Amino acid sequence: MGPPGSGKGTVSARITKSFGLKHLSSGDILRANINAKTELGLLMKSCIDQGQLVPDDVMSRLILSDLRAIGQSSWLLDGFPRTVSQAEALDDAYSVDTVINLNVPFQTIKQRLTSRWTHLPSGRVYNIDFNPPKVPGFDDVTGEPLVQRDDDTPETVTRRLKAYETQTEPVLEYYRSKGVLVTFSGTETNKIWPHVETFLHSKLPYVNQNVA
């Protein structure tokens, strides 16, 4: 768990690689269903197009059906649950033993996200602060102009962070009360990661041997 832009995707990829867990990202599942025009995908697209959140029961059904398909493997969820009712739906089906929360200051996230510019045709992403294009505003390979995705404009970022705060903070509280929440704070993913890795090595000793 963590606000948009807190590095969940990067940390999830590293956990998956180091510990061999199956990784389910709610964003990836949403996009796949929308692209495949499944019944749930069409329903979700109409919500998103109207700027609404996908209803909890739809989201829960989607994720739980993917989890059932995984079978007995250990898994890592990223981007779900986002609300307490999603967390309860997950608890009804599975027991969650660890919830990792990336606590990154909103100020850092705003700076990080609003510095992102994308070359839409290729999906190449630049960051003005640490991975700038050679020529400001233009793609290194094609020389075509870069755009700032709607998601990354300062107004949208502020709105997304506010939504995260109101919706997802109660989920953190829910898991805190169950004693499964572990929070890692920092402003840089590369500095947060070693702490997450050390913690997981103590939590998942049996996985390490397989990887080693």
In a domain, 66, yes or no: yes
Annotated binding residues for GTP, written as ranges, equal 5-10, 116, 125-126, 189
Domain count, the chain: 1
Give the pLDDT confidence score for residue 168 in this predicted structure. Answer: 87
In a domain, 2, yes or no: no
DSSP letter (8 states) at residue 83: S
105 φ/ψ angles, rounded to the nearest 5 degrees:
-55, 140
Give the Cα separation of 24 and 80 in Å (integer).
Answer: 9
In a domain, 55, yes or no: yes
In a domain, 109, yes or no: yes
In a domain, 211, yes or no: no
Question: Residue 19 contacts by C-beta under 8 Å, 6 or more apart in sequence?
Answer: 200, 204, 207, 208, 211
Q: Any idea which residues carry the catalytic annotation?
A: 8, 82, 116, 149, 160
In a domain, 206, yes or no: no
Strand bridging mode 75-78 / 124-127? unpaired
**Would you write out the chain's pLDDT as a tens digit for each of its 212 residues?**
999 889 888 899 999 999 989 999 888 888 888 899 988 888 888 887 777 778 899 899 989 999 999 888 889 999 899 999 999 999 999 999 999 999 999 999 998 888 889 998 998 989 888 789 999 999 999 999 999 887 788 888 888 888 888 988 899 999 999 999 999 999 999 999 999 999 999 988 665 444 43
CATH number, domain containing residue 33: 3.40.50.300
In a domain, 207, yes or no: no
Domain, as residue range, for 155 = 8-201
In a domain, 209, yes or no: no
Which pTM was predicted? 0.79
Residue 177 burial (10 A CB sphere; 0-12, 13-18, 19+): exposed
Structure tokens at 7: 């590095």
